[in-house]
Structure 1
């Protein structure tokens, strides 16, 4: 015999009545859930207490969303929650003393009949009328696309499979979240204006498909998937999270190594590290000085030989030449472990990568972490060809980034990088090592090259500093265009922006953020075939060409004569001539 344990009668199990039993009591009994006669429909009873409950009343959901009260969910109670045990139903206006759907916040009441009767709904995104299905059923909802058991609305057309959760059908058209300044509007599909940009949810970072319900702010291009709208406000942080932020590198930064120094706690004497630096710069002695005084005397910016970043305070200088090093670069570790690489033959458990200085003044290398060229110091693996620049070598496994304030990011440490992974900064497929969100449900991915972009840069076309800005952009124009290349900037990709002048720039179009940002320009070298020294410049002039191989150098890195002659050499030709000179 079928039995049921029901919240309204927990002291005994309810048992289903046989048809013969139902016939005997049909004239006497009523259902204590809805107050209607038992009649001949399936009914549960408790013989000890002489009570009866329709099966349909026993199966009504414990809480529902209702079109008459969409702001809050209604909870099923055994009877109205007042002393008398009677209330007026807001649906039919009748006095009621049985099962009641109640909102405690608003003191709103619906009798079980009005709440679960054969309700039909004409919903905006669908052409047909929807019928309420009170019994919870597991199915894939056409609104949130989640497969879960719930009460629902089903299309009345026999040829239409449209089926949505009752909670989704009752979603408010306007929703406010504390992590966004403007109210969000409910959209039942992604507008054609937005499909081309492949927008993702600003809470979980999952891609929003064209037929996904979502909440959005049009002026800010801010989107939240329907299933994420109730996710708690991400501005609330626990004590642990605040502690982690104080003890974790925060990106982006104007001075990356200053941030490294803030977090890193150096242990032991600094003597061995300083001795290494002396040895790394060919054994020459170094002196400590204030670069601000030295730079004023020289009249130009001072750059660190190790990391190629500008030096703005005290530093170390080689006595016999103009080679400078940050304090933090002097004190950095000299050996480290690199990401897993099956081709590396160094035994596990031993440091694989050692810090080395450049072999020549003209040499470049490509960092295997960020895929950017550099001519500074590098970490080189003894067991494979892996080579890291100083910044990537010092980058910790866990960071926080301003573009993803909700969660901490962890280094994926995968080598080589898996395909079909897009960076949230530039939108391109990741070709370097990357950070991913520490939460499994969040698909945020950020390449090392974008993670290390500077916070502020300067450009000759704007008198103000340009700030690295992340979407959503509040009160933005319909479209952004780069002031340099004049191409449209994707509204969900990063950009350098001056709000005062209303100017936007691609990061790749700013020299301090381009693919050459880790190269120290201005260094000079001598080649035997030319009487003057050659200086490394970011790009050759219009119609300039290599004087040796005749390759065009316009827009490319080049070595230019420091005198008045228009003599250029490309990097390959400088390396070839320097090699020939060294053999004689």
Structure 2
């Protein structure tokens, strides 16, 4: 058959043999396709690969290639699964920004809409698609509120002081005065100034949460997500697909077609992460079809992987706040990545159960008071 990944036609070898695929570099025991002109030998699945693909995790088209220009070492890091790519064999490559991916990762068929094979007639439409996903969010009708009143602030800067937000029946007014300990009805974290306040009821939103776009793309999902309040009905909870935490009243970015939800915290986490807990700091979101084990809490789920070592961090740990407040304690707590001493006896001062020496914990340095994250935060990660 004629294929896109090779210049010559390929013939199916009707015999089971052990071989190394010249496309992906993996060994296989199969009935391969063989080029009778130059002995190019590939898995049947690799023979059907396309020369050019478009992946939801990258803004440019990816080209199948068998070598990198000049320079590069014998391997690169696949920016989808965060594992090594042997560049002596085939891989998908973006010449615009040196994005490299395994053939199997970029052409992953486990997610139906994860890959868009570009036909000739489609190539002219690449730029509009790219602008929609990676450009101005206004292009997907993302405004969440209507401006009702503005004032002129210092240096001639306009300040929106009154809005009508999609999530609430009353108009909201901007304020800097904290009157109680209410939590934001968007992210469910303690309210901080400035925030929008309803004068007719107790509904409050951080200014930042009020300005969240109504629609957005996220690297964990292939469809456009829509910001919702009580997406499944008043009093019904949703579980965040990234961190597995439940929310009863907060905002969610939802895809109702797939029953996919992200809470506000996880929706703001991109596919690249810098975290103070790890020496190499550069963490990359692993492919959405690959569930990994978190190096901190041992839970399995979506993880950010280090491109230099085996360290992995799941969404729940990656989005833990650096500080927390416990209503029955007078001092703030700070997230700790290393143990407070070498006693080998570690307990939580809230539940009085043992703490795992490997797991992160919250600590009040004024009182030498350690706690489990779940004991101080509950089911949601409150600042």
Length-normalised TM-score, structure 1: 0.36
- 2:287 & 2:186 partners in 1: Cα distance? 23
Q: Which of the numbers 278, 282, 286 marks the counterpart of 1:404?
A: 278
The equivalent of 2:296 in structure 1 is 425
Using CA pairs under 8 Å that are at least 6 residues apart, name the structure with larger relative contact order, 1 or 2.
2
- 2:296 & 2:378 partners in 1: Cα distance? 14
Listed as ranges, the gaps of 5+ residues in structure 1 are 1-264, 342-347, 519-584
Whether 1:288 aligns to 2:174 is: yes
The equivalent of 2:353 in structure 1 is 487
The equivalent of 2:343 in structure 1 is 477
The equivalent of 1:456 in structure 2 is 323
SS in 2 for 1:370: coil
Q: Which of the numbers 372, 388, 391 marks the counterpart of 2:245?
A: 372
Q: Cα deviations across residues 233-292 of structure 1 (Å, max 9, x unaligned)?
A: xxxxxxxxxxxxxxxxxxxxxxxxxxxxxxxx9988x99443297351355322211242
Whether 1:332 aligns to 2:203 is: no
Q: Which of the numbers 508, 516, 535 marks the counterpart of 2:374?
A: 508
SS in 1 for 2:277: coil
Query: Residues 282 and 507 (structure 1 numbering): CA distance in 2 closer, same or farther, change over 3 Å?
Result: closer
For residues 151-230 of structure 1, the aligned pairs below 5 Å read none
SS in 2 for 1:453: coil
Query: Residues 449 and 394 (structure 1 numbering): CA distance in 2 closer, same or farther, change over 3 Å?
Result: same
Query: Residues 465 and 381 (structure 1 numbering): CA distance in 2 closer, same or farther, change over 3 Å?
Result: same
- Does structure 1 retain, via aligned residues, the 8 Å contact 2:197–2:203? yes
- 2:334 & 2:188 partners in 1: Cα distance? 21
Following TM superposition, by how much is the alpha carbon of 1:307 offset from its aligned partner in structure 2, in angstroms? Answer: 0.8
SS in 1 for 2:145: helix
Q: Cα deviations across residues 458-480 of structure 1 (Å, max 9, x unaligned)?
A: 33564332211002x36432321
- 1:467 & 1:271 partners in 2: Cα distance? 35
- 1:328 & 1:460 partners in 2: Cα distance? 25
- Does structure 2 retain, via aligned residues, the 8 Å contact 1:352–1:382? no
Q: Cα deviations across residues 169-223 of structure 1 (Å, max 9, x unaligned)?
A: xxxxxxxxxxxxxxxxxxxxxxxxxxxxxxxxxxxxxxxxxxxxxxxxxxxxxxx
Following TM superposition, by how much is the alpha carbon of 1:315 offset from its aligned partner in structure 2, in angstroms? Answer: 1.1
Query: Residues 403 and 388 (structure 1 numbering): CA distance in 2 closer, same or farther, change over 3 Å?
Result: same
Q: Cα deviations across residues 283-330 of structure 1 (Å, max 9, x unaligned)?
A: 5322211242xx1xxxx3122111111112111123443211111112
- Does structure 1 retain, via aligned residues, the 8 Å contact 2:294–2:300? yes
State the structure with more CA Rg. Answer: 1
Length-normalised TM-score, structure 2: 0.53
- Does structure 1 retain, via aligned residues, the 8 Å contact 2:145–2:166? no
Q: Cα deviations across residues 68-87 of structure 1 (Å, max 9, x unaligned)?
A: xxxxxxxxxxxxxxxxxxxx
The equivalent of 1:362 in structure 2 is 235
SS in 1 for 2:313: strand
Query: Residues 286 and 370 (structure 1 numbering): CA distance in 2 closer, same or farther, change over 3 Å?
Result: same
Over aligned residues, Cα RMSD in angstroms? 3.2
SS in 1 for 2:257: coil
Following TM superposition, by how much is the alpha carbon of 1:356 offset from its aligned partner in structure 2, in angstroms? Answer: 1.2
Q: Which of the numbers 312, 323, 327 marks the counterpart of 2:192?
A: 312
How many residue pairs are counted as aligned between the two chains? 231
Following TM superposition, by how much is the alpha carbon of 1:500 offset from its aligned partner in structure 2, in angstroms? Answer: 3.6
Listed as ranges, the gaps of 5+ residues in structure 2 are 1-134, 148-162
- Does structure 2 retain, via aligned residues, the 8 Å contact 1:291–1:302? no
- 1:474 & 1:504 partners in 2: Cα distance? 9
- 1:474 & 1:362 partners in 2: Cα distance? 40
